[in-house]
Amino acid sequence: MASETQKRPSMGGTDNGFRPQIYSYWRVGYGEAEGVDHDFWVEQAGEYHCIPYLNYPIDSYEIDRWTRVFCLKKGQAEWRSNGETKLLTPGDILLFPPGCTGEYITAEGHQYHWFAVVGKWPTIWGQTPQTQHWQLDPDPDIEAGFIGVRETLILQQPGYSLKALSYVYSIFGRVQQLVRRSEGTPSRSEYPESVRKTIVYLEENIGRPFLAEETAAHVHLSPAHLRALFERWVGLSPKRYHTQCRIDQAKRLLAQQTLSVQAVAAAVGYDDAAYFSRVFKQFTGQSPTKWQT
């Protein structure tokens, strides 16, 4: 019986196109939407070890199609684009949306993980496509996520395209956690019990109108006390947080493009679709109809 490793592409030392000229080692997996109606999916993922003192141009095919995400594993590198230079050190993550041109410049051989996403711009990286740079220390969970994306594409077992995306979400969930920690923002596990219970209560009741008295009674506090405590730890009032949960759920439903705006409004607790649209625009800057396009 053939082993799974026989399905994997060659790595390092092969004569695959230009790679031997600029890489001492590479390992790449390839993917597609796998017949599933994804908004976006991972098309390639890999690990490259670069030969020193070379520039690394990006192919126009990649520029036009890909949202590219790099995580520096070892060494030091620079990225130059539109007159801007970004210095990368191990642990850093760099993201480029489609259409972003530039080149790598390195004074020493560097190693990096990477993957490329195609399709609709993933809103996990914000509403507007733009270059992003996270300056982080090397993190084993993030590296495991990049490896997981690559190996999932290499093995291509049933459901691999969704599994690859799950690693992408895992990576950026960890990035967000590390960024919040560096900013001094507490995690939920550090919140007082009454705040944690309120969060769960509000998230589980997005389809119901917000009632300050009822919410406070759930955690045995007065409305004024709960509001002050909640704002201190979460940075929002309970009512604002409840509305944010509604809008976040509405965004997910609208992105599926299977429900009307009126149906989405009803699903998140708004009887008046026009009022829902006004609230949605206040929170997102776009109308629900525009969000669906």
Please determine, for residue 67, whether its predicted confidence score (pLDDT) is greater than 50: yes
Q: At what angle do helices 193-204 and 223-234 cross, to 10 degrees?
A: 90
Please determine, for residue 184, whether its predicted confidence score (pLDDT) is greater than 70: no
Token pair for residue 162? 């969704």
Percent over 70 (pLDDT), the chain: 82
Domain boundary among 148, 164, 182: 182
Helices H / strands E in the chain, number of each: 11, 10
Domain boundary among 182, 217, 239: 182
Bridge partners of 57? 103
pLDDT at 6: 36
In this structure, the answer to whether residues 133 and 172 fall within a common structural domain is yes
Q: Which residues contact 4 (CB under 8 A, 6 or more apart)?
A: 155
Residue 16 and residue 48 in contact, taking contact as beta carbons nearer than 8 Å? no
Q: Which domain holds residue 274?
A: 188-292
Residue 24 and residue 56 in contact, taking contact as beta carbons nearer than 8 Å? no
Sorting pLDDT into bands at 50, 70 and 90, what band is 23?
confident
Please determine, for residue 37, whether its predicted confidence score (pLDDT) is greater than 80: no
Rounded to whole angstroms, the Cα distance separating 253 from 246 reads 11
Q: Which pLDDT tens digit goes with each residue over 82-118?
A: 677 778 889 999 998 888 776 665 656 788 999 999 9
pLDDT at 57: 55
In total, how many domains does the chain have? 2
Residue 147 and residue 114 in contact, taking contact as beta carbons nearer than 8 Å? no
Sorting pLDDT into bands at 50, 70 and 90, what band is 9?
very low
Residue 140 sits in a domain whose CATH number is 2.60.120.280
pTM: 0.60
112 φψ region: left (φ > 0), alpha (ψ -120 to 50), beta (else): beta
In this structure, the answer to whether residues 119 and 133 fall within a common structural domain is yes
